[in-house]
A and B are shown apart, each in its own frame.
Chain A
Amino acid sequence: MRLVTRRSMLTGSAAVTAGAILAACTGGANNTGGGSAAGGAKDTLTLGMTADIEGWDPNNQPGYQGWPGEAIWGVLCRANEFGELEPSLAESWEISDDRRSFTAHLRQGVTFSDGAIADAEAVKANFEFATTNEATRSLYEGVTFDVPDAQTITLTWPEPQPLMSDRVFRIKLTSPDLIDSGNLNDKPVGFGPYLLDEAGTTRGSVYSFTKNQEHWEADVYPYSKLVCKVYDSETAALNALKTGQIDGTLVNAQSYDEVTGSGFEVKEMNGQTTRLLLTDHKGEIIPALGDVRVRQAINMVFDKQAMVDNLYAGHGEVSHQIFRPGSAAYIDDLADPYPFDVDKAKSLMAEAGYADGFEIELPTMDGQNHDVLMPYITQQLAELNITVKQVPLTGANAIGDLLSGTYPVVLWQLGNIGDSAQDIDIVVRDTGYWNLEHQKDDYVDEQWDIICTGTDEEAEAAQKAINRYIIDQAWFAPMVNPTSFYAHTADVVIDNVSDIEGLAPKLRDFQ
């Protein structure tokens, strides 16, 4: 009897399950499509994200694929692809001659989604709050505020700010009441072009938004609904794109032929430069690296065009500089300062007294294309008798170890930021976290002073001077600007990528 009962239950379960699957096969498939591709109208923009956001704290939002943040929060001014400021909450602004003060004139009638007014006091509260976050504290330390009226605020730094645009557009503005509550991660409050649709949102999986009709730029964002879906694997994102579940996603070079062959459009970006960072300029750890001839020789053993053709399948451009073409530091029409010439490189090594070479440890990490690049790098450095010992970095200590200065030579695909002063600050100056050995250089410091205090023309000339100097000194071995790709349906138009990092379209770029 018991057996009969169990059998009945199993049969019943089977029937229910089979019924569910049949129902799925007959009617479920089309219900999951959310993109405009399925609907044919620009009512919903559904974007695939290959990395999740880390909660709703406005101080902790990614610049890369940070569409939920762009949807929710407004900023004082926004920046274009070269870091030039454009109006947002501030309709106009002035920067003082000494580059210490930024005075913003705010538009009237803007309110946060909780009803609070987005005025000068609210702006002040947000910038003050930024001084409490470890990622932004140093950028706003010592800032003083002058609020003559509700629509005007002046921020003054103790020192000149050559990176004023970064300091201004970085802060996402939220309601002072939310800041006071301390519950910033629970629910986002902003005055951005979209409002969070909580019912349609599951953290870590899908974020839904409805258009904020009150936004002064509502016309700039043509979609009435925005959905951001998180995909941990590119395979899943590609499948979602191909089946009309999303309107666009970032794809890697290996998927290029597949997506273009499937009829999708691809927006190309060159926001990175593959390079060796030779950060021990003074030879304190590896004496040979203190000799400029050795660093120059290292630059000369890489056939950059062959790298583009063979390692990047043609998806990239040869690079002689670490800065973004078109940025202030970039030198137009610069001939290759270190053409591929192994014999000359060997003779430079011999001149420097290092014909027998030396050993370096190169850290490797997942997701950095090292599996493709390292064999070639190792092989070419061996031409100079430089032995490469690869050190895999994993675990919680990986980032700390990488930036600790333990490895004076690092192979990395680093961003070339549209505002080249940021690159100088991050990878060239001794205080930059990518200047791994933090070795001070008088010439760079002199030029940085000019960037801080000179006129716009003088500052640009100083940036170019730093670029020429680090090329002459061979602080880096830039190789390739690899192309990255954003694949999207034909219904979505992306004319321009206004991302200062050049890595993904911004929300306003989707038309």
Chain B
Amino acid sequence: MLTSVLRNLLRSVVVLVVVTFVVFFLMYGNGPGIARAVMGMQAEVTEENVAAKMVELGLDQPLLVQYGHWVQGLFTGDLGRSFYTGQSVTEALATRVPVTLAITAVALVLTALLSVLLGVTAAVKGGRIDRILQFLSVLGTAVPSFITSIVLVFLFAIFWRVLPATGYVSPDVSTEGWAASITLPVLALLIGAVSSAAQQFRTATLDQLGKDYVRTLRARGVSERAVIFRHVLRNAAAPGLTVLSLTVFSLLGGAVFIEQVFALPGLGQLANSSAQIFDVPMVMGTVLVTAVIVLIVNFLGDLAITLLNPKARTR
């Protein structure tokens, strides 16, 4: 068990180094181009001016040296400053990460609950309920999130006016405001995620329901409720957790778009706007945080599966 945990940890660190290394080299590879872009259209452009800008931004150093400085800064909590605004990357991330985490975490919890509920119900009940849930699931997966977002905004913000169309309110300012500001983005993320995850839970539950031990339990007179909740769900949990950890990745990816539509000042919006203007320190900051979140989720998912799986525990 401990070996497995340590192996996962080591793998996570290696992945983090590889991801940041590759992205760093891709982003910083064109130093003169970045310096020119930062100078803007109206600047007087001469080779000397571009060279001076590169020195000012630290782009004149060899790439490995620049990466070394970046990693060094990482250990002191200094991820550099925006090429444009001079804002500390760490400071920017501190305001952005909670927004993205809020919508993805709430969406994940609801996805877990609803997908288990719907998936198990479809598998156990079968018949018309299964077909209806499957149809809704396919529909939810097929409809792109931008369509979902537009429909949600039209209904809840424009037509009924019960929820705000855009913006984020910190829970420090108002709990109600916070809940209101994340509801539509969460719903937009949720529909696709639940549709996909519920299908997986349905398949995993059906798989378990067809196993011999279920027949044996039923033959012994164990109640159907106990069979489902105490035995089937427990055995279906491992593939379910894998699905949920994958859902986190799709939620994070979806957040990039959702934050644009709902004007949420989160990581996705920061990554998008920074990448467009080649504000590479900001881009690196968002890449780092996203990679860390993904690796933590992956690690916790693996850990949970290990804990649930007696064979893995004894290894």
Interface residues of A, Cβ cutoff 8 Å to B:
3, 7, 10, 13-14, 17, 20-21, 23-25, 27-29, 31-33, 52, 54-57, 60, 134-135, 137-138, 184-186, 202-206, 229-233, 235-237, 239-240, 242-243, 245, 395-400, 403, 433
Number of interface residues of B (CB under 8 A): 65
Indicate whether B201 reaches chain A with its CB closer than 8 angstroms. no
Identify which of residues 108-141 in chain B touch chain A, using a CB-to-CB cut-off of 8 Å: 109-110, 112-113
Which of B36-44, B71-79, B202-210 faces chain A? B36-44
Interface contacts (Cβ under 8 Å), in number, total 186
Cβ contacts A to B, 29 pairs, < 8 Å: A3-B234, A10-B109, A10-B113, A20-B175, A21-B183, A23-B175, A23-B179, A24-B176, A24-B179, A24-B183, A28-B176, A29-B161, A29-B162, A31-B180, A32-B164, A55-B84, A55-B85, A137-B44, A203-B85, A204-B92, A229-B263, A235-B261, A236-B165, A237-B166, A395-B30, A397-B33, A400-B36, A433-B42, A433-B45
Q: Is A29 within 8 A of B84, CB to CB?
A: no
Once the chains bind, are B36 and A14 in contact (CB under 8 Å)?
A: no
The distance from the CB of B37 to the nearest CB of chain A, in whole angstroms, is 5
Q: Is the CB of A17 within 8 A of B109?
A: yes
Do the beta carbons of B30 and A396 come within 8 Å of each other?
Answer: yes
Q: Are A135 and B262 in contact (CB under 8 A)?
A: no
Cα–Cα, bound, A11→B129 (Å): 23
* Pair B41/A233 contact, Cβ less than 8 Å: no
Is the beta-carbon distance between A240 and B165 smaller than 8 angstroms? yes
Task: For B174, list chain A residues within 8 Å (CB).
Answer: 28, 31
Say yes or no: B265 contacts A29, CB within 8 Å: no
Does A232 contact B278, Cβ atoms closer than 8 Å? no
Which residues of chain A are within 8 angstroms of B52 by Cβ–Cβ distance? 134
| Contact residues of B: prevailing secondary structure | helix
Which one of B5-13, B213-221, B268-276, B290-298 contacts A?
B268-276
Contact assessment for B36 and A236 in the assembled complex, using a CB-CB cutoff below 8 Å? no
**Is there contact, CB below 8 Å, between B167 and A245?**
yes
**Interface residue B239 (Cβ < 8 Å from any Cβ of A):** no
Q: Is the CB of B273 within 8 A of A32?
A: no
Within the complex, which residue of B30, B86, B167 is in contact with A57, where a contact is CB–CB below 8 Å?
Answer: B86
What chain A residues lie within 8 Å of B230 (beta carbons)? 3
Query: Inside 8 A of A54's CB, which chain B residues have their CB?
Result: 84-85
Q: Are B260 and A28 in contact (CB under 8 A)?
A: no
Instruction: Give B150-190 as 1s and 0s: 1 = Cβ < 8 Å from A's Cβ atoms.
Output: 10010001100111111111000011111111110000000
- Cβ of B300 < 8 Å from any Cβ of A? no
A396 and B34 within 8 A (CB):
yes
When chains A and B are docked, how far (Å) is the Cα of A28 from the Cα of B179?
7
Residues from 233 to 248 in B contacting A, C-beta threshold 8 Å: 233-234
* In contact, B95 and A243 (Cβ under 8 angstroms): no
Residue on A with the closest CB to B81?
A185
Task: Verify A239–B157 contact, CB threshold 8 A.
Answer: yes
Closest Cβ of chain B: how far from A453's Cβ, in Å? 24
Given contacts A20-B175, A240-B165, are A55 and B82 in contact (CB under 8 A)?
Answer: yes
Q: Are A135 and B30 in contact (CB under 8 A)?
A: no
Is the C-beta of B61 less than 8 angstroms from some C-beta in chain A?
no
* B265/A399 in contact, CB under 8 A: no
A247 to chain B, nearest CB (A): 14
CA A455 to CA B110, docked complex, whole Å: 74
Residue in A205, A230, A235, A245 whose CB lies within 8 Å of B164:
A245
Which of A3, A20, A33, A400 sits near B179, CB closer than 8 Å? A20
Return the contact of B33 from the options A7, A10, A395 (Cβ within 8 A). Answer: A395
Q: Complex formed: what's the CA distance from A27 to B175 in Å?
A: 11
Nearest CB in chain B: distance from A29 CB, A: 5
Q: Is B303 an interface residue (CB 8 A)?
A: no
B42 cross-chain contacts in A, Cβ below 8 A: 135, 433
Q: B81-112: which residues lie under 8 A (CB-CB) from chain A?
A: 82, 84-87, 92, 95-96, 106, 109-110, 112
Contacts A24-B163, A229-B263, A397-B33; A239 near B158 (Cβ below 8 A): yes
Is A134 within 8 A of B53, CB to CB?
yes
Do A400 and B263 touch across chains, with their CB atoms under 8 A apart?
no
User: What is the bound-complex CA distance between A237 and B166, given in angstroms?
Assistant: 8
**Separation of A203 and B94 alpha carbons in the complex (Å):** 12
Chain A, residue nearest B108 (CB)? A13
Is A203 touching B87 in the complex (CB atoms < 8 A)? yes
> Roughly how many angstroms separate A204 CA and B95 CA in the complex, as a whole number?
10
> In chain B, what residue has the closest Cβ to A19?
B179
Asked, given contacts A10-B113, A185-B86, whether A32 binds B167 with beta carbons under 8 Å apart, the answer is yes
A135/B265 contact (C-beta < 8 A), A23-B179, A24-B163, A239-B166 known: no
> Hey, which chain B residues are within 8 Å of A395, CB to CB?
30, 33
B270 touches A204 (CB 8 A): yes
User: B87 is contacted by which of A55, A60, A400, A403 (Cβ under 8 Å)?
Assistant: A55
Q: Which of A17, A23, A55, A403 contacts B45 (CB 8 A)?
A: A403
Q: Nearest chain-A residue to B40 (Cβ)? A: A135
Q: Name the A residues within 8 Å of B49 (CB-CB).
A: 134
List of A residues within 8 angstroms of B179 by Cβ? 20-21, 23-24, 28
Contact between B234 and A245, CB atoms less than 8 A apart: no
